[in-house]
């Protein structure tokens, strides 16, 4: 995203405004740019967490079918510890709640960033029309 450097066609040019870029505009453009790249980072992080959440849910269902008399090999760090089923389930539940709260934190962050970006977009398009491109 940036002030377009290509030469605009005549029609496009009439759709741009002659507004000079003010310091305030520049700050808004920078903020938009910052949010844009940050939202990409957060989205990636969220994807990873969601995958983790799915995996944990899968394991939870799997463990419901496990034999209670047998020890579960539960992975902690790089080591598999041999634990009684209830202990493993408890640990699993703890990881589950941790991931859940991470996921909702990231989702909240993304939606608030989206809101701010929309507001900035509305403002900047109103000022510069086709002279600015804030997509992608």
Interface residue list for another protein (CB under 8 A): 1-5, 7, 20-23, 26-27, 29-30, 33-34, 37-38, 41, 69, 71, 73, 76-82, 84, 91
CB of 34 to another protein, least distance (A): 5
CB of 1 to another protein, least distance (A): 8
Cβ contact 110:39 at 8 Å:
yes
Nearer to another protein, 62 or 77 (CB): 77
Query: How far is Cα 8 from Cα 128, in angstroms, rounded to an integer?
Result: 13
Query: How far is Cα 54 from Cα 74, in angstroms, rounded to an integer?
Result: 17
CB of 20 to another protein, least distance (A): 7
CB of 118 to another protein, least distance (A): 19
Kindly tell me the burial class for residue 44, based on how many C-beta atoms sit within 10 Å of its own C-beta (0-12, 13-18, 19 or more).
exposed
Nearer to another protein, 48 or 119 (CB): 48
Nearer to another protein, 84 or 129 (CB): 84
Nearer to another protein, 84 or 107 (CB): 84
Query: How far is Cα 91 from Cα 11, in angstroms, rounded to an integer?
Result: 64
Query: How far is Cα 124 from Cα 129, in angstroms, rounded to an integer?
Result: 8
């Amino acid at each position: 995203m940036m002030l377009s450097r290509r030469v605009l066609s005549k029609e496009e040019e009439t759709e741009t405004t002659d507004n000079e870029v003010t310091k305030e505009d520049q700050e808004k453009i920078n903020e938009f740019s910052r949010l844009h790249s940050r939202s990409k980072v957060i989205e990636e992080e969220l994807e990873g967490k969601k995958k983790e959440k799915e995996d944990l849910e899968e394991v939870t269902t799997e463990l419901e079918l496990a034999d209670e008399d047998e020890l579960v090999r539960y992975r902690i760090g790089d080591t598999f510890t041999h634990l009684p089923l209830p202990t493993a389930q408890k640990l699993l539940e703890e990881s589950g709640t941790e991931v859940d709260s991470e996921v909702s934190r990231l989702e909240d962050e993304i939606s608030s960033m989206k809101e701010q970006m929309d507001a900035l977009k509305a403002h900047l398009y109103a000022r510069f029309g086709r002279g600015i491109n804030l997509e992608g």
